[in-house]
Amino acid sequence: MKSEDGKEEKLLRVGELAKAVGKTVRAMHLYEELGLLDPDGRSEGGFRLYNTSAIERIQWITKLQAIGFTLAEIQGFVREFRDSHSGREASNRARDVFVAKVTSIREQLAQLQMIENDLLEAVAYLDSCQSCSTHLAPSECGSCGHEGHNPGVAPRLFAGLSSTAKAEPRREFDVPVTVLFREGNN
């Protein structure tokens, strides 16, 4: 097969293509089943053959997956693009999909930023606990007034943890292990 510049281009068998992109042969077959990848032909032995543009296609699919698209979404996206009546309609559809993904990613980033802030606040609070007495019980951490902390005021992430540290009386049970299992579940 000749490439666009007229040079003879080596076609890749499915295993060679999979190796070149770091995927499995099964992934290549799945992409083909979903209409995301088309072989350029078959060998005399019936093996699928792909030109090197298939590598770029798989890298494109991989990038969309990294962005957060599922294979089903990519399949629908490709189908809508192909089924458009004009290039303008196709590009508008692609733009709409990308704008929606940007909006979704920005929402995720905002949520991750809040999580990061909560974690940093908890770490800063806990850094001051490093010089705390080793004689205090974990149950005292929730209402700590030591090391510059205000009693009862702790970052949300740590407050949730320290509220579970309330001292409860330890209960000892003298039950044979066999009693803890139903018959037939051993």
Residue 182 included in any domain: no
Instruction: Indicate the pTM of the whole model.
Output: 0.63
Residue 109 included in any domain: no
**In angstroms, rounded to a whole number, what is the distance separating the alpha carbons of residues 48 and 60?**
20
Residue 57 included in any domain: yes
Residue 32 included in any domain: yes
Q: What is the DSSP letter of 132?
A: S
Check residue 138 and give its pLDDT: 73
Residue 179 included in any domain: no
Sign of CA dihedral 124, 125, 127, 128: positive
CA distances from 130 to 20, 133, 151 (A): 50, 9, 17
Domain extent, residue 59, equals 1-68
Tens digit of pLDDT per residue, the chain (186 long)? 555 566 667 899 999 999 999 999 999 999 999 999 999 988 888 888 999 999 999 999 999 999 999 999 999 989 999 999 999 999 999 999 999 999 999 999 999 999 999 999 989 888 887 777 777 777 667 667 767 777 777 787 877 776 665 555 566 767 776 666 666 554
Domains identified in the chain, total number: 1
Residue 20 included in any domain: yes
Residue 121 included in any domain: no
Grouping H, G, I as helix, E, B as strand and the rest as coil, residue 13 is strand
Residue 27 included in any domain: yes
CATH of the domain at 7: 1.10.1660.10
